[in-house]
Amino acid sequence: MDKAVNLLTVDCEEWFVAEALASHHSRDEWDRLTSTVVKNSRRLLDMFYHYDVKATWFILGWVAERHQDLLQEIANEGHEIACHSYYHRRVDMMTPDEFRMDTRRAVSAIIQATGNMPFGFRAPSWSINTNVTWAFEILAELGFIYDSSVFPIKHDIYGVPHGPRHTFKMKIDNDKTLYEIPASTYRLLGKNIPVAGGGYLRHSPYWYTRQVIRSLNKRGRPALVYIHPWELDPDPPRVEGLSAVQKFRTYGSTSLLTHKLNSILRDFQFTTMIEYLDGFRQQQIGFR
């Protein structure tokens, strides 16, 4: 096992909120759809227990409200509980007031389930970009310590191509601060290449993922791995009428992810976002 410590994160949500499926089911239908989040999250919990690793779980508020036992189980295993919005609405599709209300509702649901305020936030579909920088101010206002919503790549539905690729501290008005922990990328031929999460993890050969994580670690940088419980489902609910791209993004290579995740957990060390950030802040103090 490599000695460098990386970041293990889970976007804990139902299968039907995935971006590729978002237009196929209205929120009014959600309670009538087959729920898979508990069984698939428990599969992840079993894997994490086997490898003795802790992760940060970005919980959808809608899930927190309906599955309090699951959140308590996650917390009791020593994992970090963070926030993934309430309704999985894209931040760049909301007004500041709508974002504030959605986030407050999600935080309330998480506190109701666990008794604790979440430290971190991750926007649905990496949807904080240069058009909605006001979101950082609202997150700081609501008491979050860090955000992990920036993906420094060019993508058709998200991304900040020229955004920072490493953890940094933002100064917010009224003497507030917020740390950003962006998704991992690998620099190749002048471009940022996404790695170690979601479809990028599912579709890439494991030797490539392992090589890139080791390369990042040699530079003293942690890799941020992110997964969704629905990606490990061996028999996911199927949706008719999807385009080829939507099918590929939703179902492609899901049968391989369990094997890849086992390999990653065996080959690398991981910690939670807040533990990593505690160490990062101590280093910054030491450099002064």
Q: Which pLDDT score is estimated for 287?
A: 45
DSSP 269: E
Q: Dihedral, CA atoms, 59, 62, 67, 69, nearest 10 degrees?
A: 50
Sequence-distant (6+) residues with CB within 8 A of 218 are none
Output the CA angle 18-22-150, nearest 5 degrees. Answer: 55
Residue for token pair 């942690």 = 222
What domains, with CATH codes, occur in the chain? Answer: 5-287 (3.20.20.370)
Contact 196, 187 (CB under 8 A): no
Contact 223, 212 (CB under 8 A): yes
Residue 86 and residue 124: Cα distance in Å, rounded?
Answer: 10
Q: Which pLDDT score is estimated for 1?
A: 64
Strand, coil or helix: 19:
helix
DSSP 101: H
Phi/psi of residue 48, each to 5°?
Answer: -65, -40
Q: Which pLDDT score is estimated for 163?
A: 75
Residue 29 and residue 25: Cα distance in Å, rounded?
Answer: 6
Element of type H or E holding 97: helix 96-114
Please provide the distance, in angstroms rounded to a whole number, between the alpha carbons at the two ends of the chain. 33
Residue for token pair 């293990």 = 8
Residue 74 and residue 94: Cα distance in Å, rounded?
Answer: 30
CA distance to 92, 158, 160, per residue, from 129 (Å): 7, 8, 6
Sequence-distant (6+) residues with CB within 8 A of 144 are 83, 118, 119, 120, 121, 178
Sequence-distant (6+) residues with CB within 8 A of 264 are 196, 206, 209, 210, 213, 225
Contact 180, 160 (CB under 8 A): no
Give every residue of the chain whose pLDDT is below 50, as ranges.
287-288
